[in-house]
Amino acid sequence: MTFHSILFDRPEQRAGADQLGAPPFFRDLNLDQVVESITATRPDYNLKPFFYTLPLGVETIHYRQDILRDLEAKDLWECVRSFARQMRSMREHLTQAGKLHYRYQKEAWFVDAVEIYGQAVTNLYLDLESVTVRSQGFLTFREYLKTHTQSREFTSLLAETAKLKQDLAGVKYILTVHDNHVTVSKYEAESDYAAKVLGTFQKFQLGVVKDYRVQFRDWAEMNHVEAAVLDRIALLYPEVFGALNDYSARHRDYLDQTIGDFDREVQFYVAYLEYVRQFKAGGLTFCYPHVSDSKDVHASETFDLALANKLVSEGSPVVCNEFYLQGPERIFVVTGPNQGGKTTFARTFGQLHYLASIGCQVPGREARLLLFDNLFTHFEREENLADLRGKLQDELIRIHHILSQATPNSVLIMNELFTSTTLTDALFLGKHVLERIMQLRLLCVSVTFVDELAALSESTVSMMSTVAPDDPTVRTYKVVRKPADGRAYAVAIAEKYGLTRKRLMEHIVR
């Protein structure tokens, strides 16, 4: 097969990828924090748009998963990292050349950049030939490199670069400094008087003495005197410097676009694998999920990546959860006490599905997930006084907009719907929303205080965030399949009005 991209197995998928912005659900699911952490160490590659890609087909997901599996091997990993270092050095030379003012110096830095590029591409091909790769992406890219490195254009570029470097290295000249005049002339095998002078005074050296020699400062930019000297050297060697001018003009587009794209795109995998390693070092597991159009989904030992990133950095433990839907089950209704992990569970469900859809490993020992066509979130928003709508009206408009776009293959995450109204109204409206979701047969996680919604039909599955058996005030952050016990909303009301046992005891003691 023809190689198009290390990220996309079909060329049309690559078009417009750089113009993508973060999907609207990123902030609700804390995926913005996840992507920020993944890409933070590689700002030069502009990787974020690759994480904003809309859901891909199963073939592309498998394409990426296979590449990730290849990169988990140390030899290929080092091969790609070495190539990245050389390409980074090439870009640094080009950047420096752009900052310089004198023509011949700019052109010399440009030649060095091309030389580094030629070595990087050649080494990459030789390295890929010596390692084992199984993914379609790396196999076809290796074939592309083989054809490219053996092409007349590439071999001619290397040969011309080597000859020009050799010719420049062969330039020799003499500087004669007298009073305020500097004379530049060709070197004609004159004697090296410096060696003779040192030899003459060697006999007067008595141990260690002060060194009066002047140290030249190693600045990248030439000063006006150096530039003037170089201009006169160019007059002495017109053929060499004429070739330098011609070379720089003809090879401005030396970088092969496909190889340049590979250099950037492969960092999507490298950055993600490096991000994952910190969690694996802490004993957490990741897997390659099975993605299909089946709504029998499940995951074990999974967790919220954004929260785990914070906890791992603090040295705190990460609580893992599991879930499954089977048969007619479509909706998780999650209840339980405040701050018990309900919203974290909902975010985890959304994060898993999105990361799986872009071909990444997901947190968990095992996962089977839906290849969705769209992902929607409905989280609480601050009331916007400018639009003159109340909070309840705004929620109804937002959820209506979502349900009018959703299809049976969509995923919806709802967090605490209708909290601004009474329990009776929240129950009434919540039932209507869930009934519409059941009609659409889409996958949904609904976090709520309304326990009655957990047992609407065979499509709903009750999940509860749990507390310690011996102390109801201690959260376990475990969310398990369990019938709603009717206590969550009561506890929330008691906390709201200061009627918890703790608050009452404080009043009694006073």
The answer to which of 34-48, 103-117, 249-263, 493-507 has the lowest mean pLDDT is 493-507
Residue 49 lies in a domain: no
Do 330 and 318 belong together in one domain? Answer: yes
Q: Is residue 387 a part of any domain in this protein?
A: yes
Provide the 3-class DSSP secondary structure of residue 298. Answer: strand
Q: Which run of H or E residues covers position 185?
A: strand 181-186
Domain count within the chain: 3
- To the nearest whole percent, how much of the chain has pLDDT over 90? 70
Residues 340 and 412 in one domain: yes
Residue 15, Cβ density class (10 Å: 0-12 exposed, 13-18 middle, ≥19 buried): exposed
Q: Which residue has the higher pLDDT, 54 or 340?
A: 340
- Whether 335 and 400 map to the same domain: the answer is yes
Instruction: Work out the angle at residue 303's Cα, subtended by the Cα atoms of residues 301 and 304, and round it to the nearest 5 degrees.
Output: 170
Residues 478, 341 within the same domain: yes
Per-residue pLDDT at 491 = 60
Classify residue 397: in a domain, yes or no.
Answer: yes
pLDDT tens digits for range 396-438: 999 999 999 999 999 999 998 888 888 888 899 999 999 999 9
pLDDT over 70, % of the chain = 95
Q: 337 and 469 share a domain?
A: yes
Confidence of residue 502 (pLDDT cuts 50, 70, 90): confident
Residue 199 has what pLDDT?
81
Give yes or no: residues 155 and 205 share one domain.
no
| Mean pLDDT on 115-129 | 98
Q: What's the whole-number mean pLDDT along residues 437-453? A: 93
In a domain, 408, yes or no: yes
Q: In this model, does residue 388 exceed pLDDT 50? A: no
**What range defines the domain where residue 403 resides?**
282-485
Quick one: average pLDDT of 98-118?
96
Give the pLDDT confidence score for residue 196 in this predicted structure. 81
If you count them, how many residues does the chain have? 510
Q: 219 or 274: whose pLDDT is higher? A: 274
Name 83's Cβ contacts closer than 8 Å, sequence gap at least 6: 120, 123, 124, 127, 263
* Whole-number pLDDT of residue 192: 75
pLDDT at 496: 59
498 in any annotated domain: no
Q: Copy the structure tokens of residue 374.
A: 């769209």
pLDDT confidence band for 37 (50 / 70 / 90): very high
CATH number at residue 350: 3.40.50.300
Nearest Cα neighbor of 246 from 152, 112, 107 is 107
Average pLDDT over residues 11-22: 82
Same domain for 299 and 196, yes or no, is no
pLDDT value of residue 101: 92
Is residue 75 a part of any domain in this protein? Answer: yes
Residues contacting residue 473 through CB under 8 Å, at least 6 positions apart: 467, 502
Cβ-Cβ contacts under 8 Å for 452 (sequence gap 6 or more): 427, 484
Q: CA separation (Å) from 154 to 147, 160, 168, 262, 381? A: 10, 10, 21, 17, 57
243 CB-near residues (< 8 Å, 6+ apart): 164, 167
- Other CB atoms within 10 Å distance of the CB of residue 177: 8
Do both 213 and 196 map to the same domain? yes
Q: Say if 14 falls within a structural domain.
A: no
Q: Does one domain contain both 292 and 179?
A: no
CA distance 253 to 251: 5
126 shares its domain with 204: no
pLDDT at 194: 77
pLDDT-derived band at 10, boundaries 50, 70, 90: confident
| 375 neighbors 369 (Cβ within 8 angstroms) | no
Looking at the chain, the number of H-run helices and the number of E-run strands are: 17, 14
Query: Are both 462 and 382 inside the same structural domain?
Result: yes
Distances in Å between the Cα of 422 and the Cα atoms of 20, 425, 427, 451 are 40, 5, 8, 14
Q: How confident is the model at residue 493, as a pLDDT?
A: 57
pTM (2 d.p.): 0.88
The overall average pLDDT reported for the chain is 91
User: Is residue 37 in a domain?
Assistant: no
Mark whether 374 and 457 lie in a shared domain.
yes
Element spanning 194, H or E: helix 193-201
Residue 260: pLDDT band with limits 50, 70, 90:
very high
Q: Report pLDDT for 268.
A: 97
197-255 tens-digit pLDDT? 888 887 777 677 777 777 767 778 888 989 999 999 999 999 999 999 999 999 999 99
Residue-level pLDDT at 495: 66
Structure tokens at 331: 């909706």
pLDDT at 83: 98
Name the least confident of 158-172, 282-296, 407-421, 469-483. Answer: 469-483
pLDDT confidence of residue 492: 53
